[in-house]
Structure 1
């Protein structure tokens, strides 16, 4: 077989085959010149099997994590609720500026001292992150009754949720950004868009690095589809949630290039 391959693919560097004595010497030490190096490579190649079969454990394949990226698009916006193309372009430009600013000043903000009451949850603490970002007033009331209470006027972040301060988001690595996006988007699937959630979703998207990995594609598409679904339930274009929903759809579709999700200008 090896001669057949050589007939089809002639050698670019023809080297004489080493005899047994020379092969033994080549195995004993480093090559002393280019010719010996090429002969050593030739010798090693001759010892490789023609065909190699990988031994795969079927049990490991069953346990392997898979990513299901849905290709379904957003629901079309009701008449009068779709943003103009000019508005979408302006939001993408503004968002790009925000991302560049965060990247430029990330090191500075990550070194700033946090207040004593800012205790960031561990990565695996989903409930802790929901409370941290949304606040007890929104998250725990929603989980208990399906409705949320209005935040109190007092500046109590444990109740209101911590805003995505630069000193906080600059400390999040990409693993945490993606995990937190998944947690909040999962919560959003069964809840309304509240200001605390909107601020965090925007901030996390601003920290999400490109090119996106498959998991990130799936999560942001899920976010855009949920926004599109919720938008179809709005009573009118005067609803205060409309700009935020349009903005999130716009960023996912236009900035992160999920073009099939984009609102088409009227």
Structure 2
């Protein structure tokens, strides 16, 4: 490469460090400051190598990347093929939802349920958890994104105070996740991560205290948050 591509090419001239240079004194001007920077850089090794503890790399069995959750036996974790299938199905659902929403007017059923306003947590708890209203297209499609984000946050909080994920609440969480728009806002991303963490916590409790734990829905939400919404640090990992 020519000089124009040399990444070490000087942007401007800096005088050499004088023999009597004292790096312990505070810079008195710009030149003195740049000389101090050059002196500090000269004290650094040109190449630094990290020391890796090989013993820590020899991990076998199940790795649960959620630090606050208990590890669970591998038979309760979803394999990669199952996760890929769920992500593909969820992606198809979101595409259909997007097509319905983008129609003018949006295509829903002729009967549209009346839903509470944002902020009415008690009424929405009755809908999402006690299942007063199912998450039909006629219900979820007209919901504004701000309300969907708020409902995801509410569901994360409700899960944090629960020891199980009901089928009814699971249906609402799935519907809200199918309707949340991309790119995620910081608030919706935080809510989705919280839902995944609570599902992992509930799953660990189910496995520890139930003879036949029902973990499929819990696995599903952890999978979708990690794989579809690209929060990969929350993914379930099994090392053979």
TM-score (norm 1): 0.59
* Residue of 111, 115, 130 corresponding to 1:114: 111
Is 1:219 paired with 2:214? Answer: no
For 1:206 and 1:257, locate their aligned partners in 2 and report how far apart those are by CA, in whole Å. Answer: 15
For 1:259 and 1:187, locate their aligned partners in 2 and report how far apart those are by CA, in whole Å. Answer: 24
For 1:197 and 1:205, locate their aligned partners in 2 and report how far apart those are by CA, in whole Å. Answer: 12
CA gap of 1:237–1:77, structure 2 versus 1, over 3 A, is farther
3-state secondary structure, aligned to 2:142: coil
* Residue of 181, 191, 196 corresponding to 2:152: 181
Structure 2: tracts of 5 or more residues without a match: 1-10, 12-64
Matches within 5 A, 1:45-194: 75=69, 77-79=71-73, 80-106=75-101, 107=103, 112-114=109-111, 118-135=113-130, 160-191=131-162, 192-194=164-166
For 2:68 and 2:183, locate their aligned partners in 1 and report how far apart those are by CA, in whole Å. Answer: 22
Structure of larger gyration radius: 1
Residue 17 of structure 2 corresponds to none
Residue 258 of structure 1 corresponds to 231
Task: Give the superposed CA RMSD.
Answer: 2.3
For 1:83 and 1:215, locate their aligned partners in 2 and report how far apart those are by CA, in whole Å. Answer: 28
Following superposition, the deviation at residue 133 of structure 1 comes to 2.2
Q: Deviations over 1:28-65 (max 9, x none)?
A: xxxxxxxxxxxxxxxxxxxxxxxxxxxxxxxxxxxxxx
Do the aligned residues in 2 keep the contact of 1:224 with 1:261 (CA within 8 Å)? yes
Structure 1: tracts of 5 or more residues without a match: 1-7, 9-70, 136-159
Following superposition, the deviation at residue 110 of structure 1 comes to 5.1
Residue 202 of structure 1 corresponds to 174
Following superposition, the deviation at residue 209 of structure 1 comes to 1.0
3-state secondary structure, aligned to 2:236: coil
Following superposition, the deviation at residue 72 of structure 1 comes to 6.3
Following superposition, the deviation at residue 180 of structure 1 comes to 0.9
